[in-house]
């Protein structure tokens, strides 16, 4: 077995905690990652369909953000979203928080996360309801990613949005533009809503080097700068974007496959560099590596996936009306995928050495 995140944390987490303080929710998450699929969480036995013991496995932590045990959760999420998806063209928009706000993000993660979701959904809702653009309600799904490929802090929201929507009369409306909305208008609207919402928040904790006056000056300056809002080319359907997002919705920014080398002082991992379109390596001290992991631990009670418009849970009737107009059946009930079905899809269900049967039963030890 190769290097895993649990291996890294088993070796380096306690020395790190001797010299660094982190939030309780981050500490709890890191300890769960460390215990995942190790003797710390106990084990379970698996049997074939004929009752023969096939082996003993260590149990998983099942915590959101774990690098090695969220494959089944991701697959279940993807199956559910695909069932709800309209069979039409979709757009993929990416809204990025300016890096000038990163110090403020670190002191106000939950608050700024909510502001980011509200500003993105508000900008999309405003343009969707505007008679100049769509004047209808599309379906859209937002997912928050806080990382860059090299584990740097880079909060941004991926948005999957249908090409068109239902108007108030229940009729389907196609947009006037192939790109759905004008990107520059969207950027200005997103920027304005975010800064306006940020000004309204009570209890914003400012870093030591950011006085209230400098905070107000920062907001005023950001109101005059260009914010990154990227509009990808339209997709004939949204399944490709969903498949991309499903890799990260619960399993976090790093997979065990990326870890290359760990020694007493450094962790080396590989990642895809967007600038060069090639594989790159990142070498960090063990403390830097763990601190970057902490930046991306999801806060409890703060969902990183939110549905709006036709894809909102309370809009099922409207979604089924839209599906009917697109020649689709109503949304069906999705039976959660079992771990056997998940492993079968990966072609990883081993055969019993005694009878050739497939792995079936599971008993905690």
In this prediction, residues 45-74 reach a mean pLDDT of 85
Q: Which fold has domain 71-253+298-325?
A: Replication Protein E1; Chain: A, (3.40.1310)
Whether the pLDDT of residue 363 is over 70: the answer is no
Query: How is residue 82 written in tokens?
Result: 């695909």
Q: Are 302 and 110 in contact (CB under 8 A)?
A: yes
- pLDDT for residue 249 is more than 90: no
Model confidence band, residue 350 (pLDDT cutoffs 50, 70, 90): confident
Q: 248 by DSSP, 3-state: which?
A: coil
Q: How far is C-alpha 213 from the chain's CA centre?
A: 34
7-45 tens-digit pLDDT: 999 999 999 999 999 999 999 999 999 999 888 988 888
Q: Mean pLDDT across the stretch 201-226?
A: 94
Q: Which residue has the higher pLDDT, 56 or 317?
A: 317
Task: Please state the φ and ψ torsions of residue 135, each to the nearest 5 degrees.
Answer: 55, 40
CA–CA distances in Å: residue 118 to residues 79, 95, 192, 228: 26, 12, 12, 17
Residue 361: is its pLDDT beyond 70?
no
The pLDDT score that the predictor gives to residue 346 is 59
Is residue 337 scored above 80 in pLDDT? Answer: no
Determine the pLDDT at residue 71: 82
Summarize the confidence of residues 63-67 as an average pLDDT.
Answer: 87
Residue 72 pLDDT greater than 60, yes or no: yes
pLDDT of residue 354: 82
Q: Please choose, from the candidates 351, 307, 209, 286, the residue with its C-alpha nearest in 3D space to the C-alpha of residue 30.
A: 286
For residue 328, give Cα distances in angstroms to 140, 169, 240, 318, 331: 18, 20, 19, 13, 9
Predicted TM-score of the model (pTM): 0.90
Query: Long-range contacts of range 7-15, CB-CB < 8 Å, 24 or more positions apart?
Result: 7/262, 8/259, 8/262, 8/267, 8/286, 8/289, 9/33, 9/34, 9/290, 10/34, 10/38, 11/262, 12/286, 12/289, 12/290, 13/290, 15/286
Question: Average pLDDT in the 172-176 region?
Answer: 92
| Per-residue pLDDT tens over the stretch 77-119 | 888 899 999 999 999 999 999 999 999 999 999 999 999 999 9
- Is the confidence at residue 151, as pLDDT, over 60? yes
Find tokens 């559910």 and name the residue: 80
State residue 364's pLDDT score.
Answer: 66
Q: CA-to-CA distance for 160 and 148, rounded, in angstroms?
A: 19
Q: What is the pLDDT of residue 345?
A: 60
For residue 69, give the 3-state DSSP assignment: coil
Report the mean per-residue pLDDT for the chain: 90
- Which residues, listed in sequence order, are joined to residue 269 by a DSSP beta bridge? 259, 282
Model confidence at 333, pLDDT cuts 50, 70, 90, reads confident
Domain ranges of the chain: 5-63+338-364, 71-253+298-325
- Share above pLDDT 90 across residues of the chain, in percent, rounded to a whole number: 65
Instruction: Please provide residue 2's backbone torsions phi and psi, each rounded to the nearest 5 degrees.
Output: -80, -170
């Amino acid at each position: 077995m190769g290097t895993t995140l649990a291996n890294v944390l088993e070796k380096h987490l306690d020395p790190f905690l001797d010299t660094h303080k982190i939030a309780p929710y981050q500490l709890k998450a890191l300890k769960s990652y460390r215990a995942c699929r190790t003797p710390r969480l106990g084990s379970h036995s698996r049997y074939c369909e004929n009752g023969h013991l096939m082996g003993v496995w260590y149990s998983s932590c099942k915590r959101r953000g774990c690098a090695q045990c969220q494959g089944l959760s991701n697959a279940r999420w993807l199956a559910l979203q695909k069932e709800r998806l309209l069979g039409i063209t979709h757009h993929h928009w990416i809204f990025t928080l300016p890096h000038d706000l990163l110090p403020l993000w670190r002191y106000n993660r939950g608050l700024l996360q909510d502001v980011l979701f509200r500003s993105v959904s508000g900008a999309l809702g405003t343009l969707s309801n505007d008679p100049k653009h769509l004047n209808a309600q599309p379906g859209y799904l937002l997912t928050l990613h806080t990382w860059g490929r090299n584990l740097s802090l880079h909060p941004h929201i991926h948005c999957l949005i249908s090409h068109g929507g239902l108007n108030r009369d229940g009729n389907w409306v196609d947009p006037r533009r192939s790109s759905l909305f004008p990107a520059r208008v969207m950027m200005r609207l997103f920027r304005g809503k975010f800064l306006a919402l940020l000004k309204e928040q009570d209890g914003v904790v400012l870093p030591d080097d950011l006085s209230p006056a400098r905070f107000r000056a920062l907001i005023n300056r950001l109101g005059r700068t260009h914010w990154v809002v990227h509009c990808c080319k339209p997709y004939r359907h949204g399944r490709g974007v969903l498949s991309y997002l499903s890799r990260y919705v619960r399993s976090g920014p790093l997979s065990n496959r990326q870890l290359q080398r760990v020694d007493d002082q450094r962790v080396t991992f590989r990642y895809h560099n967007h600038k060069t379109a090639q594989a790159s390596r990142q070498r960090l001290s063990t403390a830097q590596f763990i601190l970057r992991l902490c930046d991306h631990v999801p806060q409890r009670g703060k969902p990183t996936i939110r549905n709006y418009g036709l894809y909102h849970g309370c809009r099922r009737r409207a979604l089924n009306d839209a599906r009917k107009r697109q020649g689709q059946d109503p949304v069906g009930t999705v039976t959660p995928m079992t771990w056997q079905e998940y492993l079968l899809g990966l072609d990883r269900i081993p055969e019993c050495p005694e009878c050739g049967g497939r792995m079936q039963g599971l008993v905690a030890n």
